[in-house]
Amino acid sequence: MGGVIDSALSSTPGVAIVWSAVKGGVNAIRTNRAETFLLFAENHINIKMFDNPQFIDGFSITFEEFIKQRNEEKRRYIQSIFKGYIEYEFDDDFEMERMYDCLNKISNKHIIILKEMHDKKDRDLIISSDKAGKWGNDIIELNKDYSEIKYLEYLGLVKVDVMREMKEEPEYEGDEESGLHVVGQTYSLTQVEKAQLSEFGKIFISYLNK
């Protein structure tokens, strides 16, 4: 198996340079990561898969992502995503590169938020509330993770919907002694942002939970 893997990596432009350096012991840390990945790969692939150009491409991309990833937990996530790629039989519709790109761009805090949203199932997470007060002053409440969630929206992992509601309430004059009577109407506008995982986000986090 090792010879087949070596041949596949060595024949891929770009990756071949990295692979040659790793084999030559240029970078001891990456050499250890490469060995870890190859041990993992040998337990999840077979030689016949290397007859498929799609698989070789995906394998090479994953190998490169794995050895350059410094975060141990993220390397575990890469393995999980790659296993998903195998399960999907190397289908182009499996957005492996997009998942790797997101993994590189998010922090551990982002991952915690995504997992919490996943645990909430399809319940919306209120991330901001902007209510116009009686005197025209906005009362804005932001979720403590607002900026992180908006960044996850930018990456396509989360979708945010804006809900607006106009409320009409009677305006009173008077006091308790003379009594209260309606003299008009007041209006208040409430805007709420609700977030939940996008369809891509649900797929992505499923591999981080395995």
Which mean pLDDT values do the consecutive 10-residue runs of the chain (210 residues) have? Answer: 59 58 64 85 83 86 91 97 94 95 97 92 78 51 86 96 78 71 72 91 94
CA distance linking residue 195 with residue 153, whole number of Å = 9
| Residues 51, 73 contacting (CB under 8 angstroms) | no
Max distance between CA atoms of the chain, in angstroms, equals 95
CA neighbor of 30 nearest in space, from 84, 81, 75 = 75
Residue 71 per-residue DSSP state: -
Name the H helices within the chain.
2-10, 15-23, 28-42, 53-68, 72-87, 96-105, 108-119, 146-154, 199-208
pLDDT of residue 190: 78
53-68 and 2-10 are packed helices; what angle lies between their axes, rounded to 10 degrees? 90
53 CB-near residues (< 8 Å, 6+ apart)? none
- The domain ranges of the chain are 2-105, 112-208
CA neighbor of 90 nearest in space, from 40, 42, 51, 38 = 51
CA distance linking residue 74 with residue 82, whole number of Å = 12
The sheet with strand 125-132 has its strands ordered as 138-142, 125-132, 179-197, 158-175
Residue 46 per-residue DSSP state: -
pLDDT of residue 133: 47
CA neighbor of 146 nearest in space, from 127, 130, 162 = 127
User: Each residue of 85-122: pLDDT tens digit?
Assistant: 999 999 989 999 999 999 999 999 999 999 999 998 76
pLDDT of residue 27: 66
In this structure, the number of other CB atoms found within 10 A of the CB of residue 40 comes to 17
The residue ranges of DSSP E strands in 118-206, in sequence order, are 125-132, 138-142, 158-175, 179-197
pLDDT of residue 199: 96
pLDDT of residue 19: 61
CA distance linking residue 122 with residue 102, whole number of Å = 22
